[in-house]
Structure 1
Amino acid sequence: MTTTNILLIDDHAMFRSGLRMVLNARMEGAEIFEAGSLVEATQDAPETIDVILLDINLPGLNGLDGIAFLKRKWPQVPVVVLSSQDGPETVRDALARGAVRFISKADTADRIVALLNRVLRGEYNAPENQPGDGDEVLPIPLHLTPRQCEVLDLLCQGMSNKLIARRLALSENTVRGHVQAILGFLEVSSRTEAAFAARRRGLVG
């Protein structure tokens, strides 16, 4: 069985413990190495790492500045920012500094594991890639419908599901389904990252 070495850097021990249990239970062969700071990570982690999960609120050198710090030690290893701070500026900054993915801590365990598996397969920005067995709960569309494009446009304007539903004369449940399809299509985990990805790909003005 192939071992996957995952370096988890977060200063909250309880969160690290919970995520470690989730990853060990759902990812066969996962070996989790924990660190509470960037310095601790570089001192204690093995030389061979497959992916780095990085929080941005860390003691000393913070997570965003630490992306470049980690890339110097492990230049070929993908860095995934995992944080509760998913504002547009934070997401944009993390991706611009070299993170391959931004995952919100508010995501479900299923979503976090699915996105992490894609990163491990090298699927960073491929909207039409299909998930592997058990990776994703919802199917990923190969394209957006005209209605989903309307929802995406309003989402990028900062509208909530309730406001989008009112504007398009839809139920909130219907809008919620469209938003989940959009997140899957764009290979992102939050509305903020969806807006950033849509603008980067020229899907919205």
Structure 2
Amino acid sequence: MEFEMDPSAEIRIMCVDDHPLMHKGISALIQSQPDMTIVGAVSKAGDALATFREKVPDITLMDLRLPDGNGIDTMISILKEHPKARIIILTMFEGDVEIQRALKSGACGYILKNMPPEDLLQVIRKVHSGEKKRLHPVIAATLADHFGEENLTSRETEVLQLISEGNSNKEVGNRLSISEETVKGHVKNILGKLGANDRTQAVSIAVRRGIISLD
């Protein structure tokens, strides 16, 4: 079921987050607003699509980290069936690469959980009124800080992920079926692109920016 959203109507919101306190806090905040209401709240990626189908909310608040999947893949699944869905990422993760990935995948907004409640309400209203990409100034500044930088290739990301798991260059090579010298070349490129002095610093930078995950 799809329908045209009426900007003057009550904003129907679904929340996808696995933290009970966050659920309660968001629900209390939303229900305190005269123009908003919570129509669904789920904690797992596997339940998000089914609940969306049932409720067809105007706005979906989506966390990036869920116990059975990730928010971006869940968002993509929803948008595949409901192209007009308006999804706002609400998360603790502020890495520029993760932000870019979410926006390119169809997110209408991206906001951090530690931002003031008024900021979340403003983003919800702006997205509901039709704004395509609503970014908090802090998020926009994070993207601007890395604008024009060269991204890691998919192979370099694979190498760095394996390094973060404690593998030596030789072990990385064995895992990826490439020579140790090739791995060293990738590591050199990684350090240069990330502005890191060594492998440990490269991993730290990559985790902070959302390039790799330590999960």
Aligning the two structures, in what range does the TM-score lie when normalised by the shorter sequence?
Answer: 0.5 to 0.7
State the TM-score, normalizing by the size of structure 1.
0.61
Residue deviations 1:172-192 (CA, integer Å, cap 9, x gap): xxxxxxxxxxxxxxx532524
| Residues 1:114 and 2:95 aligned together | no
| Residues 1:42 and 2:42 aligned together | no
Equivalent-residue separation in structure 1 for 2:142 and 2:81 (angstroms): 31
Residue deviations 1:2-23 (CA, integer Å, cap 9, x gap): 3322110001111011111001
Aligned residues: 140
State the TM-score, normalizing by the size of structure 2.
0.58
Structure 2 residue runs without a partner (length 5+)? 1-7, 148-215
CA positional deviation for 1:42:
2.4
Q: Which residue of 1 aligns with 2:131?
A: 123
CA positional deviation for 1:63:
0.7
Equivalent-residue separation in structure 2 for 1:12 and 1:118 (angstroms): 25
> 1:53 aligns to what SS in structure 2?
strand
Give the AA of the match of 1:37: K
Structure 1 residue runs without a partner (length 5+)? 126-186, 201-205
Task: Report matched runs for 1:43-192 at 5 Å.
Answer: 43-45=50-52, 46-125=54-133, 188-192=135-139
Give the AA of the match of 2:99: V
Check the 8 A contact 2:30/2:36 in 1, yes or no: no
Equivalent-residue separation in structure 1 for 2:89 and 2:74 (angstroms): 11
Equivalent-residue separation in structure 2 for 1:39 and 1:65 (angstroms): 11
Are residues 48 and 64 of structure 1, via their aligned partners in 2, closer, same or farther at CA, if it must alter by over 3 Å? Answer: closer
| Identical residues among aligned pairs (%) | 20
Give the AA of the match of 1:96: K
Check the 8 A contact 1:3/1:31 in 2, yes or no: no
Residue deviations 1:49-82 (CA, integer Å, cap 9, x gap): 2111100000222112222111123221111100
Check the 8 A contact 1:91/1:193 in 2, yes or no: no
Are residues 197 and 117 of structure 1, via their aligned partners in 2, closer, same or farther at CA, if it must alter by over 3 Å? Answer: farther
Give the AA of the match of 2:49: T
Equivalent-residue separation in structure 1 for 2:76 and 2:127 (angstroms): 18
Are residues 109 and 60 of structure 1, via their aligned partners in 2, closer, same or farther at CA, if it must alter by over 3 Å? Answer: same
Q: Which residue of 1 aligns with 2:11?
A: 4
CA positional deviation for 1:92:
1.0
Are residues 26 and 67 of structure 1, via their aligned partners in 2, closer, same or farther at CA, if it must alter by over 3 Å? Answer: same
